[in-house]
């Protein structure tokens, strides 16, 4: 069966299936299980109202449970077994992994990524948001800086590989070096700094995201505080750092953590740019090296990522509860 | 800050310049690749894309017809024009592929036979290449590289070229086969769709494009329906455990996908789905749900309470309230999520690599570029650039057409 036909069929089955499920289950609930016509109609209606939310939630809960909750447990369990999955090795995969320099490099690089990418994205995002605030063509400028959000990590990698190319007739960085009389370099092979050249790509993508949200937050600042500061003689820089930034601290934190989480998931850039060579490995790409080859090791790496994400997750849940 | 006297104008110029600089910085990489995708593949490696509007100096080989050969003393002469019937402008020329631009126009470049005297007194010949003025005679050194005295020379072959491409080829023996000439000429910039034709028709990118579509559309539509019902329940229905479920959805938002790969692939293999399109649709549906529920719930909670309650007073069931009132009113949130999920599944590499079969028949575009083109077509930037833009075009279109909803969704998802 051709995939297109299969796709159309799936859309049809999926959509009609969903509608049929919700429609029929509601009818069954109201007409068959708790029909409101017998003597205790009041009790039946109340009972139906109690059950209905679970009917509405059921497909979503099933999918969430199977595709996101079960894997957390399943991955941890799998990471306690060896490569072929038949011998229990306890924490063997973890101790083995931590003793290897490859993993430690990946962990260290990931630490750099988590440190640099959110900071740089928020910095540039805030800069653009503030600078474009009163500009006539601000919306066009923002839209252009926002554009990389639509580009895949693979596409972005390709775009930047072109920028970094060694040949000064092709790569613009080496063309600039060439015109200054400097020798051509391959940015992706300079030890240690090549990590930063890879981070540039993610910063390039994520600045737009930071900018959109911070720009909205800046607009939400009460006018009075700004006017009061101006009356008191604050210069534009004081106004920005002392008045505006403190008021959007919460939003900055949200943007920061969102990008941090993203950094821990993105393997595409390293995979497409260097394949993890030249000491540029990070945890997600390190995990993909073992995927299909050593599931025990791969799940162990995934679980390490989960543990790093955990504090953010708890913080997010706390914030959400506070708002409810 | 606008009302601080004397500061406004200078500050606003600086601001404008800063923003302009940043925008250019952000655009340059993409524009570079976009321009390159339309350029002739030879020209890409000859000059940078920033010079794409200017003529390119390109070396090429010409084999003129050996018609009209005439004899001039001991030498045979062939005249003609390297551009044939066309026109062009020669910058330099040569007679070997080693050095295609050895001489400038107006000069003659040739290979001489030097007669040198050996140390034991015998006469030897030796090849020597040089350029000389077209109306003059070649200068030969007094001794060769080994220090042997040069006593005379004869012309083995020589080429004279005018800037318009007129050439004179002179050769010692009879001209049986046409000579091979090398010309460096300014070529006008060439733009076209050849790269796109090449990538689509002979590199199976069309197949990858269709596969990406096939993955994306069901994976965008199905989670919306499931999530909308759940979001309604979480927003407008009272039941114990609601708070806990909302907290769980928020927590699941950040669960790294990596965790799901191994257990779910194992599960899919066990139940017989294996690596297939069905598998990836299910996976994307599962992974997209937390964001979908979160966004939609946040939006639905903000709908006016009066409408929903008065509908309920009038006897509408929850199912009717949902389908007749909440769903139509939530259109902006539905659109936001649809765009997110569309961009995310279209651009995804990880899930496609794991949940789709690894044969080239089922490659989506990201896998095709990352695993195939970057390896096999590593330096062929015309092809790579075209492939990148084939894969980027649809998301960019969606992005610019639906930016309003995308921004709204981002804001609802993060600042709430």
The CA angle B372-B364-B296, to the nearest 5 degrees, is 140
CA angle A112/A114/A115 to nearest 5° reads 65
- How is chain A split into domains, by residue range? 3-78, 94-323
- Residue B231: predicted pLDDT: 92
CA distances from A159 to A17, A150, A156, A189, B146 (A): 42, 13, 5, 18, 53
> What residues in B contact A261, CB-CB < 8 Å?
254, 256
Closest approach of B224 to chain A, Cα-based (Å)? 10
Mean pLDDT for the stretch of residues B223-245: 88
Give me the pLDDT at residue B414, please. 58
Quick check: A256 and A80 in contact, CB under 8 A?
A: no
How far apart CA B44 and CA B386 sit, in angstroms, is: 13
CA distance B117 to B148: 6
Q: Does B384 touch chain A (CB under 8 A)?
A: yes
Give A-chain residues touching B221 at CB under 8 angstroms. 11, 14-15
Tell me, what's the pLDDT at A39? 67
CA-nearest of A279, A276, A262 to B410 is A262
Question: pLDDT confidence of B85, banded at 50, 70, 90?
Answer: low
Inter-chain residue contact A4 with B414, CB threshold 8 Å? no
Interchain pair B396, A217: CB under 8 A: no
What is the structure's pLDDT at B1?
Answer: 46
pLDDT greater than 70 at residue B271: yes
**Nearest CB to A53 within list B239, B278, B391:** B239
Asked if B295 and B228 touch (Cβ cutoff 8 Å), the reply is no
pLDDT in tens, B309-353: 888 888 888 888 888 888 898 888 898 889 989 999 999 999 999
**pLDDT tens digits along B59-78:** 778 888 777 788 877 788 88
Of A309, A302, A191, A299, residue with least CA distance to A259: A309
Write the CA distances from B201 to A156, B55, B198, integer angstroms.
24, 29, 6
The SS3 call for residue A18 is: helix
**For residue B289, what pLDDT is reported?**
92
| B94 in Cβ contact with B103 (< 8 Å) | yes
Q: What confidence category does residue B8 fall into, taking pLDDT thresholds of 50, 70 and 90? A: low
Report the complex ipTM.
0.88
d(CA A82, CA A91): 10
Distance CA A184, CA B190 (A): 27
Q: Which residues 211-240 in chain B show a CB within 8 A of chain A?
A: 211, 213-214, 217-218, 221-223, 225-227, 229-230, 232-234, 237-239
Query: What is the band of B143 on the pLDDT scale with cuts at 50, 70, 90?
Result: confident
The nearest CA of chain B is from the CA of A107 a distance in Å of: 15
Dist CA A59 CA B365 (whole Å): 31
Output the average pLDDT for chain B. Answer: 84
pLDDT band at B203 (very low <50, low <70, confident <90, very high): confident
* C-alpha–C-alpha distance, residues B57 and B43, integer Å: 9
Chain A hits for B264, CB-CB cut-off 8 Å, are 67, 71
| Residue pLDDT, tens place only, A28-74 | 887 777 776 666 677 777 777 788 888 888 889 999 999 989 999 99
State how beta strands B166-171 and B75-81 pair: antiparallel
On the question of pLDDT at B298 being above 90, the answer is no
Query: Residues of B with CB below 8 A from A235's CB?
Result: 4, 7
The DSSP call for residue B165 is S
Q: Supply the pLDDT for residue A119.
A: 95
Q: Are A67 and B283 in contact (CB under 8 A)?
A: yes
Three-class SS of residue B118? coil
Cβ-nearest to A302 among B233, B234, B256? B256
- A107 touches B at CB < 8 Å: no
Q: Answer whether A153 sits within 8 Å of B214, measured CB to CB.
A: no
Q: Is B28 on the interface with A (CB under 8 A)?
A: yes
Chain A contacts in chain B segment 288-347 (CB below 8 A): 289-290, 293, 317-319, 322, 343, 346-347
**Mean pLDDT in each 10-residue stretch from start to end of chain A (324 residues)?**
74 83 82 70 76 86 90 90 83 88 91 94 93 86 90 92 87 88 86 91 93 89 89 87 89 89 89 87 90 88 91 86 77
Residues 6 or more apart whose Cβ sits within 8 Å of residue A319: none
Domain A94-323 has CATH 1.10.1060.10: no
CA A233 to chain centre: 41
Which positions 108-137 of A are in contact with B (Cβ < 8 Å)? 124, 127-128, 131-132, 134-135
Q: A 133-162 residues with CB below 8 A of B?
A: 134-135, 138, 141, 143-155, 157-162
- What span, in angstroms and rounded, lies between the C-alpha atoms of B300 and B277? 32
Residue B377 has φ and ψ, to the nearest 5°, of: -115, 30
CA distance B8 to chain A (A): 10
Q: A93, A300 in Cβ contact below 8 A?
A: yes
Q: On the CB side of A220, how many CA atoms lie within 13 Å of its CA?
A: 16
- B306, B236 in Cβ contact below 8 A? no
């Amino acid at each position: 069966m051709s995939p297109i036909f299969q796709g159309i069929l799936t859309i049809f089955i999926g959509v009609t299936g969903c509608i049929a499920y919700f429609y029929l289950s509601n009818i069954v609930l109201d007409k068959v299980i708790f029909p409101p016509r017998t003597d205790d109609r009041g009790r039946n209606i109340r009972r139906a109202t109690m059950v209905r939310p679970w009917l509405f939630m059921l497909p979503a809960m099933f999918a969430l449970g199977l595709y996101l909750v079960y894997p957390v447990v399943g991955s941890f369990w799998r990471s306690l077994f060896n490569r072929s999955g038949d011998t229990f090795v306890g924490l063997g995969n973890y101790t083995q992994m931590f003793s290897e320099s490859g993993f430690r490099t990946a962990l260290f690089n990931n630490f750099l990524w988590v440190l640099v990418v959110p900071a740089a994205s928020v910095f540039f995002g805030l800069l653009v948001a503030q600078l474009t605030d009163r500009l006539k063509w601000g919306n066009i400028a923002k839209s252009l800086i926002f554009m990389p959000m639509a580009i895949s990590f693979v596409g972005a990698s390709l775009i930047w590989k072109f920028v970094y190319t060694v040949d000064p007739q092709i790569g613009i960085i080496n063309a600039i070096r060439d015109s200054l009389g400097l020798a051509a370099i391959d940015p992706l092979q300079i030890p240690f700094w090549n990590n930063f050249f890879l981070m540039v790509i993610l910063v390039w993508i994520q600045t737009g995201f930071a900018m959109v949200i911070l720009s909205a937050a800046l607009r939400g600042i009460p006018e009075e505080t700004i006017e009061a500061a101006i009356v008191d003689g604050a210069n534009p820089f004081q106004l920005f750092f002392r008045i505006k930034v403190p008021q959007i601290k919460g939003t900055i934190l949200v943007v920061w953590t969102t990008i941090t989480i993203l950094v821990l998931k993105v393997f595409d850039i390293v995979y497409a740019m260097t394949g993890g060579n030249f000491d540029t490995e990070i945890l997600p790409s390190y995990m993909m090296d073992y995927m299909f080859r050593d599931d025990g090791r791969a799940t162990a790496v995934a679980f390490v990522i989960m543990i790093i994400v955990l504090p953010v997750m708890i913080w997010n849940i706390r914030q959400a509860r506070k708002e409810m | 800050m606008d009302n601080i006297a004397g500061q406004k104008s200078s500050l606003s110029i600086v601001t404008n310049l800063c923003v302009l600089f940043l925008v250019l910085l952000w655009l340059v990489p993409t524009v570079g690749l976009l321009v390159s995708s339309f350029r002739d593949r030879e020209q890409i490696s000859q000059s940078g894309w920033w010079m794409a509007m200017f003529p390119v100096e390109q070396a090429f080989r010409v084999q003129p017809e050996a018609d009209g050969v005439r004899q001039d003393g001991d030498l045979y002469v062939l005249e003609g024009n390297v551009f044939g019937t066309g026109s062009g402008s020669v910058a330099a020329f040569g007679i070997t592929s080693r050095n295609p631009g050895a001489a400038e126009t107006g000069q003659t470049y040739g290979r001489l036979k030097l007669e040198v005297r050996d140390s034991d007194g015998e006469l030897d010949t030796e090849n020597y290449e040089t350029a000389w003025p077209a109306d003059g005679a070649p200068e030969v050194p007094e001794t060769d590289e080994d220090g042997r005295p040069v006593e005379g020379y004869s012309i083995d072959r020589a080429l004279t070229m005018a800037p318009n491409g007129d050439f004179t080829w002179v050769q010692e023996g009879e001209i049986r086969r046409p000579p091979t000439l090398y010309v460096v000429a300014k070529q006008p910039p060439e733009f076209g769709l050849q790269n796109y034709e090449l990538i689509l028709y002979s590199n199976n990118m069309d197949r990858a494009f269709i596969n990406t579509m096939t993955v994306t559309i069901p994976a965008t539509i199905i989670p919306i329906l499931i999530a909308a019902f759940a979001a309604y329940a979480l927003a407008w229905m009272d039941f114990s455990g609601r708070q806990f479920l909302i907290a769980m959805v928020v927590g699941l938002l950040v669960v790294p996908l990596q965790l799901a790969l191994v257990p779910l692939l194992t599960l899919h293999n066990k139940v017989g789905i294996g690596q297939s399109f069905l598998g990836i649709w299910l996976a994307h549906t599962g992974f997209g749900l937390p964001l979908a529920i979160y966004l939609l719930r946040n939006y639905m909670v903000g709908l006016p309470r009066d409408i929903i309650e008065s509908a309920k007073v009038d006897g509408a069931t929850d199912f009717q309230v949902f389908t007749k009132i909440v769903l139509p009113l939530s259109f902006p949130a539905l659109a936001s999520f649809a765009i997110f999920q569309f961009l995310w599944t279209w651009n995804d590499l990880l899930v496609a690599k794991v949940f789709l079969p690894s044969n080239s028949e089922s490659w989506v575009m990201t896998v095709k570029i990352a695993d195939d083109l970057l390896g096999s077509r590593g330096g062929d930037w015309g092809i790579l650039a075209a492939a990148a833009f084939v894969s980027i075009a649809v998301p960019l279109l969606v992005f610019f057409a639906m930016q309003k909803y995308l921004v709204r969704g981002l804001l609802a998802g993060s600042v709430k």
